[in-house]
Amino acid sequence: MTASETVVVTPAPRKRRAPVVITVILLVLTLLVVGFIALDAWARQQVADYVSEKVRSVLSLDSDQPVEVEIGGTSVIAQVVTGSLERIDVGVDDVTIGDLSGGVTLRAEGVPVDASRAVDRVQIEFRVKEDGLQSIASTLSASAIDSVQLDDGEIRFGTELSIFGVPFTVGIGVEPFADGGEIGLTPTSVELGGTRSTAEALIETFGRPAQELLQTRSLCVAEWLPESFGVDDVEVRDTELVVTIGAQKALFDEGSLSRLGSCE
């Protein structure tokens, strides 16, 4: 090697650390996401437990009676931060409201975290089976009722009608309807001696005795509910009487829940 020659030293290649850094970042982000999901699941369960307790208290249920609660929306924590929950669905079996017993499904939308603010909308479906209607049979007719059946959109009950001193076994079908805070019952069909006809036809044939039996009657539901609720719909679905109860912009603090409605 001569003095004029230049020695070129090639530096050793640096180790690439970018993939390692990216892996660490992804790992940290994954742990954060998993931690947030776990925290959100915990928060969801806490809210569900709180709702279950409130439902048991309002409906006077036993402390061990199952109450199904589902909190809608994606992140409960994010919903709480905004001040309200998007949706809450509740399901309870064997509930007694006044003289009726059945199953309840409830959906509340726009539920504020602060109980002093109103809930946007609440809808309750109260499902009563045939045997659950026996307790209100006396409100369906002026005569004693021997049987109650739900069929073809009607509540059908069997009773005995005395016409000109002659007893007849009569099957009467009534169609339910919503009327403010009441369930209305309008007689629509009659079965007499195996022959089915309309309520109007029976009144035309037998006059006043039949007219008294076939009067439209009503059952007050509002007196069993907070005053902000009303009966939105009543219908027979298969073998259940379904009463839909609703409220808009209603408060659910202790004071509001204790003030019951009326049918006056």
Task: Walk along the chain (264 residues) in steps of 10 and give the mean pLDDT of each run.
Answer: 52 58 62 64 87 82 88 86 90 84 91 88 91 71 71 82 70 85 83 73 65 72 86 90 91 81 81
- Per DSSP, the three-state class of 67 is coil
Alpha-carbon distance 227 to 248, whole Å?
12
Residues 78 and 98 in one domain: yes
Alpha-carbon distance 196 to 116, whole Å?
55
- On whether the CB atoms of residues 91 and 104 are closer than 8 A, the answer is yes
- On whether the CB atoms of residues 263 and 182 are closer than 8 A, the answer is yes
Q: Where are the alpha helices (DSSP H) in the chain?
A: 18-58, 76-82, 199-206, 208-213, 254-258
In a domain, 32, yes or no: yes
Residues 63 and 155 in one domain: no
Give the end of a domain, one of 60, 82, 117: 117
Residues 31 and 112 in one domain: yes
Give the end of a domain, one of 91, 117, 143: 117
Residues 106 and 207 in one domain: no
Range of the domain at 140: 127-254+257-261
Residues 96 and 174 in one domain: no
Residues 140 and 108 in one domain: no
Alpha-carbon distance 21 to 177, whole Å?
68
Residues 199 and 105 in one domain: no
Alpha-carbon distance 64 to 123, whole Å?
25
Q: How many C-beta atoms surround the C-beta of residue 79 within 10 A?
A: 22
**pTM of the shown model:** 0.75
In a domain, 170, yes or no: yes
Strands 119-129 and 240-250: antiparallel
Residue 233 pLDDT? 93
Residue 163 pLDDT? 63
In a domain, 223, yes or no: yes
In a domain, 36, yes or no: yes
In a domain, 122, yes or no: no
Give the end of a domain, one of 117, 147, 166: 117
Residue 154 CB contacts under 8 Å (≥ 6 apart), including other chains: 173, 174, 175, 188, 189, 236
Look up residue 120 and give its two tokens: 């946007």
Q: Which amino acid is at 170?
A: V
Residues 159 and 64 in one domain: no
Residue 242 pLDDT? 94
In a domain, 52, yes or no: yes
Total domains, the chain? 2
Residue 18 pLDDT? 59
